Structure 1
């Protein structure tokens, strides 16, 4: 585990859009060629640039903090304690509030937990974690893998206050994760087929103690991009800090590569601003990795809902 002090580069960013009240879970929608993100306060699902004949914002009947794209074209959402699917309207159709088809309720007997972070692994399974939303802030959050083939399987990772920073290396064999209430990004070996983890160890300390780990993604070179306390931090494969970038107007909330060549890096602000980074901060960066799609072919109603311990 390494952590090297670097200077924070403050930038106003290139303002692309400002909507909603909060930002989280920025993702590149390769099918529709746009970035998307949910606003958990305003109950909207936003897109930039807006697809042809589609509005930039779609109202949701339930709020979401976590999202992923599916092989069917639908969107998988973390809706509080539930995972659900929404179907986007076809271009030109009247816009109606998005109503999710509920797939499963997570940890139904524990009212304090809620889905806090997640992404699709390289094999098409959705891996996510939960947070303790109560005032006691006890570490009762867990990490899970969900698939239509196996249903819900709990990963044997340490309990957390708030699961965060879930991401997978380019080859899919290494997973990083964090407890947003702690000061370390962790890593482990990951077996997608068996939902097994091993070799849990620190990846790197957070740059500032108490900052809290947020969204994380890998680029094609294996570097990790991590949001920490509103600052974007880039690590190399060994956990050494390469650079830190702070938006001048608002704290960063999430980050995603996109564009046809995945060579555009956008940052979503905590207050709903979407920013591009100046060219001098992007020179020499490796392109991103395409998000894997959640494999949702077949009937969702046939999915198992048990937790395998």
Structure 2
């Protein structure tokens, strides 16, 4: 490997959960468990750091992205809008609908900023037409940060919270935006645009500011330096890699969700681990995922 070639790594299957569309994975420091959603399977999954004690909870719809509150209930981005959701009781309190009356759109990728606000975008499932917004929700109101998006993905934040990363998976580029958790979204600029690895899906930023990006259709997770240079390629034995997080007791394991959606019987026979949960140890620490901190819990 030369100084200009990315290091190549592999990941091991941790849990053969056969998700249709695994997404939104995060490490919960409170109970030391992984949580993620199978959007099309309508299940909330969890397990320990070694893939043990797997649990799946049936959901009342397609859960696309979520964040924990202090009481361990969820701020939940279901396909049709934002809710407060108790996964144990099944109780849902709808906060705001997502584009009601607009066909073919739903919520998609979401993440917390460093001050506990929830930023979430959507997808137009009709050829990813550019019709959906990206919102910031603080528990008391909703702000539109971006508009005319085909498929919002890669939402994550620099360690100091001053940059927001974002990708529209209708293309291949990841952008960095100047970010103020209390103000308007700032100037955007190209962060990375790598061809030949599918399209950008979910991302996470580690404690040193590297961005780890799952590549749907690209069978990999790519790690970029804070300057946007590709320095690591984690290859998986499945094509559709959807999201990743850093967790474990020492916050030094990368966990990766994948998907079976859109794969025919022949493709599934060739890549039988598709939809599974994968992991590898990494030589850098992650950051705690955090909790949603509402300014005011309302149901308006």
Bucket of the pairwise TM-score, normalised by the shorter protein:
0.7 to 0.9
Q: For residues 4-45 of structure 1, what are the alpha-carbon distances to aligned partners after superposition, in whole Å with 9 as ceiling and x for unaligned?
A: 764654x3x332212243211111111121001111122111
Secondary structure of the structure 2 residue equivalent to 1:287: coil
CA distance in 2, matches of 1:107, 1:190: 25
Which residue does 1:254 correspond to in 2? 243
CA distance in 2, matches of 1:55, 1:249: 21
Off by >3 Å, runs of 4+ in structure 1 = 4-9, 296-299
TM-score (norm 2): 0.85
CA distance in 2, matches of 1:117, 1:101: 20
Equivalent residues in 2 for 1:189-268, closer than 5 Å: 189-194=178-183, 196-208=184-196, 211-228=198-215, 229-249=218-238, 251-268=240-257
The alpha-carbon distance between structure 1 residues 269 and 112, as it changes in their structure 2 partners (threshold 3 A), is closer
Confirm or deny: 8 A CA contact 1:20 1:39 kept in the other structure.
no
Q: For residues 105-134 of structure 1, what are the alpha-carbon distances to aligned partners after superposition, in whole Å with 9 as ceiling and x for unaligned?
A: 022242332111110111111101111122
Which residue does 1:184 correspond to in 2? 173
The runs of 5 or more residues in structure 2 that have no matched partner are 260-273
Matched, 1:101 2:96: no
Note the C-alpha offset of 1:58: 0.9
Confirm or deny: 8 A CA contact 2:105 2:123 kept in the other structure.
yes
Confirm or deny: 8 A CA contact 1:36 1:47 kept in the other structure.
yes
- Aligned Cα root-mean-square deviation (Å): 2.2
Which residue does 2:270 correspond to in 1? none
Matched, 1:293 2:288: no
CA distance in 2, matches of 1:231, 1:72: 35
Equivalent residues in 2 for 1:162-181, closer than 5 Å: 162-181=151-170
The count of aligned residue pairs is 277
Matched, 1:43 2:57: no
The alpha-carbon distance between structure 1 residues 293 and 138, as it changes in their structure 2 partners (threshold 3 A), is same
Equivalent residues in 2 for 1:148-159, closer than 5 Å: 148-149=139-140, 151-155=141-145, 157=146, 159=148
The alpha-carbon distance between structure 1 residues 298 and 184, as it changes in their structure 2 partners (threshold 3 A), is closer
TM-score (norm 1): 0.83
